[in-house]
Amino acid sequence: MEKAHTNPQTRQESFQLNHPLDNHRPYNVPISSSGNPGETPVFRNVKVKDDLSVVPEDGIRTVKDLIRRSADKFGSNPAFGSRTEIQAHLKDGPPDANGNKKQLTISELSPYEFISYIEYEKLVTAIGLGLVSLGLTPSQDKICMWAQTSASWLSTFHGAASQSIAIVTAYSNLGLSGLQHALESTDSVAIFVDSSSIARLALTLDAVPALRLVVYKNDTRISGDVIQKFKQDFSKVKFIEFDELVSLGRSAPAISEPHSPSPDDICAIMYTSGSTGNPKGVPLRHKNIVAAVSGWNITWGGHFDSNDVVLAYLPLAHIMEFISEHGFLYWGVPMGYGTPRTLFDHSVQNCKGDLTELRPTYMVGVPAIWESARKSIVASIGAYPPDKQTAFWDALRDKQRNFEEGVVFPSEREAAFSGVRGIFGGRLRFMMTGGSGIAKHTQEFISFSLAPITGGFGMTETCGTGAMMDPTQWHTGSLGGLSGCVEAKLIDHEEAGYHASSNPPEGELCIRGASVVDSYWRNEDETSKAFTVDGWLKTGDIGRFDEHGALWIIDRKKNLVKNVNGQYIALEKLEALYRSAPVVANVCIYADSTRVKPTAIIIPIEPVLNKLLQSTSGTESSASETAQAQRVVLQQLHEKAREYDLPSLEVVEAVVISPLKEWDVTNGMTTAVGKLKRRAILEYHQESIDEVRK
């Protein structure tokens, strides 16, 4: 039987960085004296150095067990909260480059309404029975989730899993070709949709005739006429609304032989948000998810309880959101669902935004979100009266200095940050960043003024686990300890000069453990490249173990580009640094073997750029595509390069200002969680790149 590890930590109300921390070093320790040639020893989190965690507690071996345990332990406590759209208001957005105004839809939302853990288990059971009643065959059929994050998304997954029916994930904005690939390669027969994907459903049903069931989550934006038209055009497909599915399951007779899952059963095939080609399917088994929860529990289990509340708004089709929600389910933490477009008060009408309505104690984000948050906070401070501005910046400087010197920061001076914290609901204890690197300046600014941002690292292939920082050990740079369910080692990456034998050791990060999958779905070529016969996953990330055993992620193999002199330029590292420039909304760094220095392609923050242009030459906003604008932006980037003391080869030599207002999934420039699609960005801007590099 798997050994369950306990977490002896007790919850503390605040993690504000106003006093010295005990960092409990070392973070990770080698469990053998030496590694194989070209490899480091195997490292584990010091808390599990003798035995990796596999289950969070005895009796939990599947996702169904996890739900049952939460219902038994937390009962009538609030579990999942949602808001209903009362009305969608239309208003004019800002004009585009041609002066045309696009209409924006602004939501008016109800307060949050929660269901309990007991009610949730009953809901999940009904959904599972409903799916079986509609003809889905356990351990064979699959249902694709093509919708935005919501309680109905998660409960549909849990309902399917309770009957040994696997789901297939697809981002709500995934293009038809990618969706078709996911559906056909997994032999999916059913699909779950909402208003974000319903408009493209007809094309999907035409392209994938094997689909025979559509479950749709109704809201104010799906009319009965639309559904009726679908039923007429696709008479062989069964259409059922989510609430009808639940009612069907509740009225269905109990199954005499329940199709309960086993730990080795596949419960989800999650498609990675790849930046090139068709995405790879990652088959997650019940035991992988349970192990991932146990790994999270080693680091964070003592920091959460039912007094917390979490804002859930990132895509559930992404592993970071997916696995974190299972952790909060295990800890009994209520989750309120929101959306990126309804987070703040200014983005909704006649109601509060998700943050101020829910007032979460924890949230997760990606670097682009935190960078945008930092710039919004700075802008809001700029609107303060002069004395309040001075109080904020003085308090921020003193708090950071006191922390570095190990001196207590007076609690009464925390009042200087109350306005900033109020924007985010006023109760955040700490937050996590993942997906890619975050600029140190941004992490420090938000951590000292709002709440600490801790780093996390995981992949779909590791079920979202790898390394995660304990908020009681907050620091910048490294990730700190490995997750309690995995072990790791570094192997030489000769081409780029990373060696496991160096001091400190550096190389490609390899991870092994119960949360790590063993293959890609029906893809032997990619499986043989990434997985070894003894269970190691080669992540493609370049890591380092420092003198305290802390893990650093210093780059990705595919984002190390050799310049004309044979020196490597780390693209993601530079993007994290240059993104902190005041004028930059987003940036993609381009380098190749024909030049010494890189080029920056940027999305500017137009009000900032216009102000800079007016201060230098009196030019109006229409000049944002001129050489003068490029020079102004280049000056800003060079200031950042000096601030971070970058070597010459990392100082950008030229700037391209993108004509696009933003890079997102709708124009194909990013994945659903904001990662840059480099090839698409370069192809779109290639002519401009060639021009500025003449």
Domain boundaries, the chain: 28-55+340-535, 63-80+114-330, 558-692
Looking from the CA of 532 toward its CB, the CA atoms found within 13 Å total: 11
- Work out the number of other CB atoms within 10 angstroms of the CB of residue 90: 8
Say if residue 457's pLDDT is above 90.
Answer: yes
Using an 8 Å Cβ cutoff, are 544 and 551 in contact? yes
What tens digit of pLDDT does each residue of 407-432 get?
A: 999 999 999 999 999 999 999 999 99
**Residue 619's pLDDT band (cuts 50, 70, 90):** low
What pLDDT is recorded for position 633? 94
Does the pLDDT value for residue 186 go beyond 70? yes
Query: Rounded to whole angstroms, how far apart are CA atoms 350 and 106?
Result: 10
Residues 255-269: tens digit of each pLDDT: 756 799 999 999 999
Whether pLDDT at 276 is above 60 = no
Q: What is the pLDDT of residues 197-226, one digit of tens each?
A: 888 899 999 989 999 999 999 876 777 888
**Terminal-to-terminal C-alpha distance of the chain:** 66
pLDDT at 623 over 50: no
Q: Which of 103-107, 334-338, 345-349 has the lowest mean pLDDT?
A: 103-107
Q: How far is CA 304 from the centre of its chain?
A: 20
What integer is the mean pLDDT of 531-543?
95
Assigned fold of 63-80+114-330 = Rossmann fold (3.40.50)
Given pLDDT bands bounded at 50, 70 and 90, which one contains residue 254? confident
The model's pLDDT over 599-617, given as tens digits with 9 standing for 90+, comes to 999 999 988 888 888 887 6
The pLDDT value recorded for residue 511 is 98
Q: Which pLDDT does position 674 carry in this prediction?
A: 78
pLDDT, greater one: 369 or 359: 359
Give the pLDDT confidence score for residue 1 in this predicted structure: 47
Q: pLDDT by residue (tens digit) across 22-65?
A: 766 799 999 987 778 999 999 999 999 999 999 999 999 999 99
Helices then strands, counting H and E runs in the chain, come out as 19, 28
Average pLDDT score over the chain: 90
Distance CA 360, CA 449 (A): 16
Give the per-residue pLDDT at 621: 47
Q: Whole-angstrom Cα distance, residue 129 to residue 252?
A: 7
Q: Any residues with CB less than 8 A from the CB of 583 and at least 6 apart, and which? A: 602, 604, 605, 608, 609, 612, 632, 633, 636
Q: What is the CATH number of domain 558-692?
A: 3.30.300.30
pLDDT score recorded for residue 104: 83
